[in-house]
Amino acid sequence: MPQFQSKRRVRHSASEMFELVADIERYPEFVPLCSALRINHRTVRADGCEVLTADMTVAFKMVRESFTSRVTLDRANQKIMVEYLRGPFSHLQNRWTFEARGDDACDVGFFLAYEFRNKMLAMLMGTMFDAAFHKFAAAFETRADQIYGRAQLNV
């Protein structure tokens, strides 16, 4: 099963980066391959975590696939977990972590494991997905620079 994992130190606070990643409605504006995203349901659990159910559409050339996920936004622990519900994958798991490194920097952790249900789709999309995931972290950092301005790295 293909996996991608990265940890990057960025020049923005953990709370800024958490909020940027949590703002999933904006993904089509800057996330590679994301052509559409719709929130279907939003609730807040007793523990304070916000839970969203969302449909995301990814597109590359002539291929367009949509899938549904449950996204748990855990602000207290600065973590975001994504659970796959339905779509073209047989497995999809995604996690984000945000660890403060001073007031103006943090380490952003990103983990993704996935497997397509259809072998032909896996062959068609697999290489392109791998390339796109390597650009994900940079896309979020670039977006943070645009929204918050580039902070000086003081770590």
What domains sit in the chain, N to C, each tagged with a CATH number? Answer: 3-148 (3.30.530.20)
Q: Quick: pLDDT tens for 117-137.
A: 878 767 766 666 666 667 777
Task: Give mean pLDDT, residues 87-116.
Answer: 91
Task: Give mean pLDDT, residues 57-64.
Answer: 81
Residue 56: the pLDDT is 94
pLDDT top residue among 47 and 61:
47
- Which of 4, 1, 6 lies closest to 108, judged by CA? 6
Task: Give mean pLDDT, residues 81-106.
Answer: 92
Residue 136: the pLDDT is 76
Task: Give mean pLDDT, residues 41-62.
Answer: 93
* Mean pLDDT for the chain overall: 88
Q: Which residues are within 8 A (CB) of 94 and not within 5 positions of it... i.e. 6 or more apart?
A: 69, 81, 82, 110, 111, 112, 113
At residue 97, φ and ψ (nearest 5 deg) are -130, 150
In the chain, the percentage of residues whose pLDDT exceeds 70 is 88
Task: Give mean pLDDT, residues 5-19.
Answer: 93
Task: Give mean pLDDT, residues 6-32.
Answer: 94
Model confidence at 151, pLDDT cuts 50, 70, 90, reads low
Residue 68: the pLDDT is 96
Q: Which residues are within 8 A (CB) of 118 and not within 5 positions of it... i.e. 6 or more apart?
A: 88
Residue 6: the pLDDT is 86
